[in-house]
């Protein structure tokens, strides 16, 4: 065992690992540690500029260290920071957010006119209204940290009570009657507590693989609908924050059992119901999402009559808040379930200030620019891969302010550089903690014409 000399953890890296420095100056990354910890660690991999290690012994705990609430916390990959007090988690995420902007985008915090502190989540636990669980041999759970092995769950303190009840009921149903081809289950619940699940199969699943699903899950309390997805190689138009694929073509449609559409109040849009389904992206922290929408919309400050271009609108998370300010919104998203849900929600609320446009964001922006269209404001909420290649065409549309919402500080920082080159300056930045107990951090940056 290659045991290193005792290490004092100095900070947290993006990803949640504690960072210490060897006497020669090399950085050591140690999971499950907190700033201030004195630890004994074993070197696992020397990557030249850094060492990946594992915690062997906690010699002296940091004052920021706390007892993890969840019995799965030590091995489950769902959380990385339960051993850290929430105030320290938030401070580490704020630091990581601004360090990414500086390191990757060259945008130092002191160069931003209004670089705000992180917006904390109203709830440290029990905040998730949707989740993805893995299935192995009829058991339901998360993947263990650093592996593809399953950590079966008996409880999850991140899940809202209604979602946890549904997850445990689904797990019990699968133990009693396994669905062999099933590999993942996405679950979500609405404001009324009713929920829905999406079943994702193994790539080798045969056609009709999910025919038994209605019988397996029949009578589950709170389950209103099921979406059974085709095998991955046959899917098209499945929209997630990590990937937005091309719009549906000849691929088979998901099988629908019951009614898998759930409803929640649209943030900052009184009287509007935001529609969701377990197989399309939506934010998982309801109260945190309202803080995110508020940060973006208030920064953008649309006024009556403003023409707003919204890119990657999804099911309308920001759309209705923008329209509620009496702005005229052109909302762009791939044709598919997300856009269908947004259109339904707008029709149900009888909103006529929104024009939905189906298509790839980059191509739509290029088309608008070629037509000579103009917009007063723009809001982007791209997937994790960011909005590469959009800046120049977007600038030709003339928005005086752009609000960029991001779930990945690295791609955000990259795209800010392109927007700066296109004539925009970052005036305001605010990180938002949507996922307590994990390393993930969202952010909003407001840019104005230089």
> By CB neighbour count within 10 A (0-12 exposed, 13-18 middle, 19+ buried), where does 429 fall?
buried
Question: Residue 237: pLDDT above 70?
Answer: no
pLDDT band at 14 (very low <50, low <70, confident <90, very high): confident
Which of 237 and 57 is assigned the larger pLDDT?
A: 57
Share of the chain above pLDDT 90, in %: 88
| Stated pTM of the model | 0.93
Dump pLDDT digits (tens) for 140-192: 999 998 889 999 999 999 999 999 999 999 999 999 999 999 999 999 999 99
What rounded mean pLDDT belongs to the chain?
93
Which stretch, 145-159, 249-263, 327-341, has highest mean pLDDT? Answer: 327-341
Q: Which domains does the chain have, with CATH numbers?
A: 7-65 (2.40.50.140), 89-123+283-449 (3.40.50.150), 130-263 (2.40.50.1070)
Which residues touch 17 (CB under 8 Å, ≥6 apart)?
A: 29, 30, 31, 33
As a dihedral over the C-alpha atoms of residue 168, residue 171, residue 173, residue 175, rounded to 10 degrees, the angle is -140
Catalytic residue positions? 407
Q: Give the per-residue pLDDT at 252.
A: 80
Q: How does residue 251 score in pLDDT terms, banded at 50, 70 and 90?
A: low
For residue 11, the Cα-to-chain-centroid distance in whole angstroms is 24
Give the span between the Cα atoms of 155 and 77, in whole angstroms: 14
Question: Mean pLDDT across the stretch 408-422?
Answer: 96
pLDDT, average across residues 21-37: 94
Which pLDDT score is estimated for 277?
98
Residue entry with tokens 């509007």: 272
What's the pLDDT at 249? 52
């Amino acid at each position: 065992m290659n045991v290193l000399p005792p290490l004092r953890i100095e900070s947290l890296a993006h990803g949640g690992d504690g960072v210490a420095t060897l006497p020669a100056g090399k950085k050591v990354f140690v999971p499950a540690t907190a700033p201030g910890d004195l630890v004994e660690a074993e070197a696992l991999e020397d990557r030249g500029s850094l060492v990946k290690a594992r915690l062997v012994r906690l010699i002296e705990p940091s004052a920021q260290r706390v007892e993890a609430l969840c019995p799965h916390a030590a091995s489950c990959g769902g959380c990385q920071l339960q051993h850290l007090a929430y105030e320290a988690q938030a401070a580490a995420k704020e630091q990581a957010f601004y360090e990414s902007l500086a390191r990757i985008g060259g945008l130092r915090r002191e160069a931003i006119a209004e670089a705000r502190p992180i917006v904390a989540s109203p709830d440290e636990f029990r905040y998730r209204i949707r989740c993805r669980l893995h299935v192995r041999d009829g058991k339901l759970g998360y993947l263990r940290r650093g592996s593809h092995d399953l950590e079966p769950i008996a409880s999850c303190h991140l899940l809202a009570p209604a979602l946890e009840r549904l997850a445990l009921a689904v797990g019990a149903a699968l133990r009693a009657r396994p669905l062999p081809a099933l590999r993942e289950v996405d679950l979500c619940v609405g404001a009324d507590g009713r929920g829905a699940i999406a079943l994702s199969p193994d790539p080798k699943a045969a056609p009709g693989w999910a025919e038994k699903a209605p019988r397996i899950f029949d009578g589950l309390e709170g389950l209103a609908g099921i979406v059974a997805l085709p095998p991955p190689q046959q899917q098209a138009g499945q929209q997630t924050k990590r990937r937005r694929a091309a719009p549906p073509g000849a691929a088979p449609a998901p099988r629908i059992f019951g009614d898998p559409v759930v409803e929640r109040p649209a943030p900052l849009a009184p009287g509007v119901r935001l529609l969701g389904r377990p197989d399309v992206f939506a934010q998982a922290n309801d109260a945190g999402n309202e803080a995110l929408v508020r940060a973006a919309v208030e920064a953008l400050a649309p006024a009556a009559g403003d023409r707003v271009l919204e890119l990657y609108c999804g099911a309308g998370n920001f759309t209705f808040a923008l329209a509620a300010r009496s702005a005229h919104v052109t909302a762009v998203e791939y044709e598919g379930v997300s856009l269908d849900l947004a259109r339904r929600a707008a029709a149900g609320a009888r909103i006529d200030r929104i024009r939905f446009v189906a298509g790839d964001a980059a191509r739509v922006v290029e088309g608008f620019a070629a037509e000579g269209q103009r917009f007063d404001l723009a809001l982007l909420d791209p997937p994790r891969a960011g909005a590469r290649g959009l800046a120049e065409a977007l600038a030709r549309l003339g928005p005086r302010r752009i609000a960029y919402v991001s779930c990945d500080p690295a791609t955000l920082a990259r795209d800010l550089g392109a927007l700066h080159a296109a004539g925009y300056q970052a005036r305001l930045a605010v990180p938002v903690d949507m996922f307590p107990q994990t390393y993930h951090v969202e952010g909003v940056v407001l840019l104005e014409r230089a």
